[in-house]
Amino acid sequence: MTQADTHPPVEISARLTPAMRSVLQAMAKAARPPLHTLTPLQARAAYAAGADVLEVAAPHLARVEDFTIPARDGYAMPARLYAPSLPAPDATALPVLLYFHGGGFTIGSIATHDGLCRALSVQSGCAVVSLDYRLAPEHRFPVAVQDAWDALVWLAAHATDLGVDGTRLAVGGDSAGGTLAAVCALQARDAGLPLALQLLFYPGCGAHQDTDSHRQFAHGLVLEQTHIEWFFGLYVDPADRTDWRFSPLNAPDHDGVAPAWIGLAECDPLVDEGVSYADTLRHAGVAVDLEIYRGVTHEFIKMGRAIPEAQIARADAARALRHAFGLNP
């Protein structure tokens, strides 16, 4: 979890579920240093230390395997495969979701999202490949975008080496990872690479954080304005913020991209741009399933032990994957 710097206003706190309020109160009581006051390395360590605090116990899977995927410059990107069953000669290979973790392009890893990826694999019945793309500030925009795309292209070509079905692919991610997934869906459309689904948990979609929700939920709700400014200052030059690979809302068109499942948190600075992206896709004729989970904040999807809506959202996302891949309900 990221550390909220302030308490939410009373009128905002009243909109939160009791469980969400309790989580925020516990975070405030812990009084950890605000994220933006740390170095990137310190922030990564702090985020990793708290990543599993509110997670449910990690479910067992038949396959959990670490491997690497080559980036265009030869860098070996760490990746992890999750699968609920072992490959067998007489069995149909599993479809696969390529998942990009969140963390403002600056923090987060395969390890911080291990529980979430395990849950998605178990509940959907598909394989999940989680990617450690390179982070800022060591690797600024567009390196993360390039890493994500390189991983998708490699997976489509080499899925059989992993014992999964490269003709049944989806992309997904949360927060910054949701941005990468949305961008990959646009690139896949342009490259003629079919995707069954783009699975987006509260993605960043806009060039500038100037919506009503950014103003309304700027303080005290896990992801704060100061965090966003810190993340993006480390990741992207101001001149590149209108690039659609940073802001998928700015893509020239959205026709023909993969169907989308979008899960948003009501009390999240990013909720308005998530709704705008859903509307943009729908206006382009793309099938969209939009869910807004009431009374919860950014990052709730990784709070399954404390926030019931996290379990509901995971089940909804898994259902969307099963439907997209034609798996049994």
At 96, which CATH number?
Answer: 3.40.50.1820
Rounded to whole angstroms, the maximal C-alpha distance in the chain is 59
- 245 within some domain: yes
Per residue of the chain (329 residues), what is the pLDDT tens digit? 565 556 788 889 999 999 999 999 999 998 889 889 999 999 999 999 999 999 999 899 999 999 999 999 999 999 999 999 998 887 899 999 999 999 999 999 999 999 999 999 999 999 999 999 999 999 999 999 999 999 999 999 999 999 999 999 999 999 999 999 999 999 999 999 999 999 999 999 999 999 999 999 999 999 999 999 999 999 999 999 999 999 999 999 999 999 999 999 999 999 999 999 999 999 999 999 999 999 999 999 999 999 999 999 999 999 999 999 999 87
User: Domain count of the chain?
Assistant: 1
Q: Which one is catalytic: 175, 213, 254, 272?
A: 175
Question: Range of 230's domain?
Answer: 10-325
Q: Which one is catalytic: 132, 147, 174, 268?
A: 268
pLDDT at 2 (0 to 100):
61
Reported pTM = 0.97
Q: Is-contact 79 64, C-beta < 8 A? A: no
First-to-last C-alpha distance (Å) of the chain: 32
| DSSP codes joined into one string, 75-114 | -EEEEEEEESS---TTSPPEEEEEEE--STTTS--TGGGH
Is 150 catalytic? The answer is no
- 95 within some domain: yes
Is 227 catalytic? The answer is no
pLDDT at 91 (0 to 100):
84
- 271 within some domain: yes
Angle subtended by helix axes 114-124 and 308-325, to nearest 10: 50
Is 114 catalytic? The answer is no
pLDDT at 1 (0 to 100):
56
pLDDT at 280 (0 to 100):
98
- 1 within some domain: no
- 2 within some domain: no
- 3 within some domain: no
- 5 within some domain: no
Query: Cα angle vertex 288, ends 282, 289, to 5°?
Result: 145
Phi, psi dihedral angles at 252 (to 5 degrees): -55, -35
- 278 within some domain: yes
Q: 132-165: b or e for each residue (b if 16 or more CB lie within 10 Å)?
A: bbbbbeebbbbbbbbbbbbbbbbbbeebeebbbb
pLDDT at 4 (0 to 100):
58
Please name the residues in contact with 313: beta carbons below 8 A apart, sequence gap of 6 or more: 201, 263, 291, 293, 300, 301
